[in-house]
Every structure is written in C-alpha cells, then in structure tokens.
Amino acid sequence: MLAPALETVRLTLHVLAATVWVGGQIVLMGLVGPARGMGGDATKTLARAFARMAWPAYGVLLVTGIWNVTAVHYSSQDSAWKAVLMAKIVVVILAGVAVGLHQRATTKGQLALWGSLGGVASVAALVMGILLAG
C-alpha cells in the first residue's frame, strides 16, 4: 500500500532536509583540506555558502520533526520510543547550538571542538530518527 500524499510530503521534506544538514556537513568536512590548499578565503567562502543552505534545512527539520511527532500519536507510543524521542530532541538542539558556535569560533581549537560536536550530534540525531521510524 502506498503512503498517503501528505505523509509522503512530510517524510520527503524531512529526509531531504536531513540530507542537506547532515550530509552537507560530511561533504564539507571532506572539502576543508582541499579548500585550505587553494589559499585565501576558500574555506570561509565554502562554509558561508553551505550555511545559506544548511540553516534553512535545519529549520525544515525542526518543523517537519514536530509534524512527524504529531502524526504518530505520542501518547500511544511506548516508553522506549518516548525516551529516544526526548534524547533526539536534546541532540538536535545540541547540534544546532554547536554548529552555531562553530560558525562564530575564532580559534582553530574552537572550530575543531564545535564542528566535531555539531557533526557528531547531527549524525546521532539521524540515527535516532531511524530508530523512531522503526
């Protein structure tokens, strides 16, 4: 049986936004080294261009995430599902805060710390989303 149209839209938007937010971070991580070799502000230029796509995707993730929870009837879920959901909410907030701090970092250490934390939290949120979709 095919999913109803609205459910398909909701899930497609959520997965597409996760692809941009999480997948984009992974791709950008792989581009940082070569961009540094290009000299100048190549790394900063790539990061700014990515941010123009990533933050709207993060917003779509938040909106469709709320939509996802309302679509599955929270009250009918078991305690394990609810625990994973609560952990995911914390990790999603942590990812956004860490990536925001990464953008504002002024030292290599801060860039590494906040970038790593933002990336790990984003991947963790992705994994938890798969668990919740079960």
- Tokens representing 51? 């941010």
Of 18, 51, 52, 46, the residue nearest 33 (C-alpha): 46
Separation of alpha carbons 126 and 134, rounded Å: 13
Who contacts 58 (Cβ-Cβ below 8 Å, separation ≥6)?
17, 21, 96, 99
pTM for this model (two decimals)? 0.92
Give me the tens of pLDDT residue by residue for the chain, a chain 134 residues long: 667 899 999 999 999 999 999 999 999 999 999 999 998 999 999 999 999 999 999 999 999 999 999 998 888 999 999 999 999 999 999 999 999 999 999 999 999 999 999 999 999 999 999 999 97
